[in-house]
Structure 1
């Protein structure tokens, strides 16, 4: 057999998140007064996660202040518009409580139930620039427009907001479900041309209490990065006489190698499973050989490859149902030492003996 090898490969997936903001233009038709004001149902969209499919993934290289996930929430203010002196309808708002500790943390966030994960609220409208909801004793104007009449006698003012989960420090991970102690103050009102606040258009709402207590059960994971996405293990050359008995390894011994992860968060607990590329239904502890060989040489017969953990001499079984803990984080790294052995499965004939496996990293 000549230069047999195992080629271990990893598949990496990346997702690109795009959030679209809608800016609405409003046109004043005629002077109108506003009355009977109220907040309609605020419509919240799904959480969009920047890294990972349905879980937030944080490594040691994720900078504090990173936006981890976001979702849009549209706030509607409804009023009855009648012809008359022109009113300006407004939506105002601010945080009135910043959660545990009573104030806003860094990066303009309130605390969530997971230490190190904060919630920020941005807003935009046709009349105001993009802004961040801050803590103010007096709510600030988030949106305003001239009151309008309509065929049904009602008008609407719309505020587009985006909630963002922010990394604010070290986190042990978990499920983000609430912002304990946080509250907001939103006001819908109207003023006339002299700046006098209307007495018949005034409504309040606390959307912090109503819409931030369920953050979509977003899971936060502490993860690592792959040091080398493709590992090639050179096994060397063997003789057919190196395999004295069935199910025994070569007398020459195996080849050791390691799978290493870096930039691990301290709380990361990675596990791994491997899939036989030549037979993805393989759930045994023997990695099958590739039928294709280099330079037209015949494939070896009567042998397979077995991988084992150096730490406990345990054989690796293939398939997604066979998962193994990779070890503890030491110095922001995790190293999993392995050994590859040729194993006799039948009558051994000379030839090339190549195999390939993909490995996948999971986190709790």
Structure 2
């Protein structure tokens, strides 16, 4: 913690007589000059003393899917906000100041080409914008422009009183800054954001370290394919209960269907199917919806090799659980042939059967 004391001096030279001697006048002028020098050479110390908590952050993006055809300036998503604290109190030094504004000054470098508020990460085509908010400091949507941002917080309190705290939230936003390579790219670094304090009752600044250290983590999966069928309904033929007489695991009535995509060449394409009714399902049989009336029957999905698909998490991360490889993306249409079929899971009673699934593409 850095502090300084500001000593104010006043002087007045009074004379009740008449100066009659030139040498005495020169002597008095010399004293006056000395006193003026003392006024302008103080050891400056401020009354407000401030600290900062919850800094040295890592930019953690998680896994983000980048759709096909995103243009420069489009937002990829917000990273979860982080809140840090500015804590200040007033020290009983020479002056008796009990109110002042403390400023958190943020600075960074590496502006993305063509932007004044986005800073380049290690991934070509992806940058980050920083926005600051604080209700206690009356700061709303303060964006770091040309490498700088400032949030000022007013404090008022007793001398030698407890620390008063103001919360400041920073939200990083990921932005497209240029052409993106297809496939999966790892986020490993972002520009360092430093914090410097200044205050209204002094003319000194204090380096408070880094809000963001420059370390970053995350995966960006840039799609090379877009879905040409946003919703697909597969109707299976009616099956007789006798078709399942051989016991649990008996299957019947396979129905072909296909997934259709429009692609650009340049990546290996993988896919994961997720059970929408029960996303934690990792088996190869979908959970039926609540409005299904049949019992002892489930639904399976078969991939292009005719093998039952095991379901996994809704994630585009490479190596996702139960993800499987389709192949290289073509320059044009990509058709993925599949099948759906009934499977016996218990004692069978007739009725309707319905299940829901989603798919997630991954590109490497």
Q: In 2, Cα distance between the equivalents of 1:122 and 1:254? A: 53
Tell me the residue number matched to 2:130: 121
Larger radius of gyration: 2
RMSD over aligned Cα atoms: 5.6
Contact 1:123–1:160, Cα closer than 8 Å, also in 2: yes
Give 1:282-321 correspondences, 5 Å limit: 283=283, 308-310=302-304, 313-320=305-312
Tell me the residue number matched to 1:109: 118
Tell me the residue number matched to 1:26: none
Tell me the residue number matched to 1:256: 256
Contact 2:265–2:330, Cα closer than 8 Å, also in 1: no
Consecutive unaligned residues of structure 1, counting only runs of 5 or more, are 1-32, 192-196, 345-350
Consecutive unaligned residues of structure 2, counting only runs of 5 or more, are 1-43, 244-248, 313-320, 345-349
Q: Which has the higher contact order (CA 8 A, sep 6+)?
A: 1
1:205 aligns with 2:213: no
Counterparts in 2 of 1:40 and 1:228: CA distance versus 1, 3 Å: same
Contact 1:34–1:81, Cα closer than 8 Å, also in 2: no
Q: How far did residue 40 of structure 1 move?
A: 2.4
Tell me the residue number matched to 2:64: 56
Contact 1:124–1:131, Cα closer than 8 Å, also in 2: yes
Cα deviation, 1:33-86, whole Å, max 9, x if unaligned, reads 973766524326999999xxx633322265643143241232415353445367
Q: How far did residue 258 of structure 1 move?
A: 0.7
Q: How far did residue 338 of structure 1 move?
A: 1.8
Tell me the SS of whatever aligns to 2:233.
strand
Cα deviation, 1:97-154, whole Å, max 9, x if unaligned, reads 227xxx6763612222333332222224525553212236xx6643153x63426346
Q: In 2, Cα distance between the equivalents of 1:274 and 1:140? A: 43
Q: In 2, Cα distance between the equivalents of 1:45 and 1:56? A: 23
Contact 1:306–1:342, Cα closer than 8 Å, also in 2: yes
Counterparts in 2 of 1:268 and 1:73: CA distance versus 1, 3 Å: farther
Counterparts in 2 of 1:109 and 1:336: CA distance versus 1, 3 Å: same
Q: In 1, Cα distance between the equivalents of 2:336 and 2:146? A: 48
Contact 1:272–1:326, Cα closer than 8 Å, also in 2: no
Contact 2:265–2:328, Cα closer than 8 Å, also in 1: no
Tell me the residue number matched to 2:141: 130
Tell me the SS of whatever aligns to 1:179.
coil
Tell me the residue number matched to 1:142: 151
TM-score (norm 2): 0.55
Cα deviation, 1:168-193, whole Å, max 9, x if unaligned, reads 2425544434215x4535232333xx
Q: In 2, Cα distance between the equivalents of 1:363 and 1:106? A: 30
Q: 1:71 aligns with which of 60, 81, 99?
A: 81
TM-score (norm 1): 0.55
Q: In 1, Cα distance between the equivalents of 2:99 and 2:356? A: 70
Contact 1:45–1:73, Cα closer than 8 Å, also in 2: no
Q: In 2, Cα distance between the equivalents of 1:325 and 1:222? A: 16
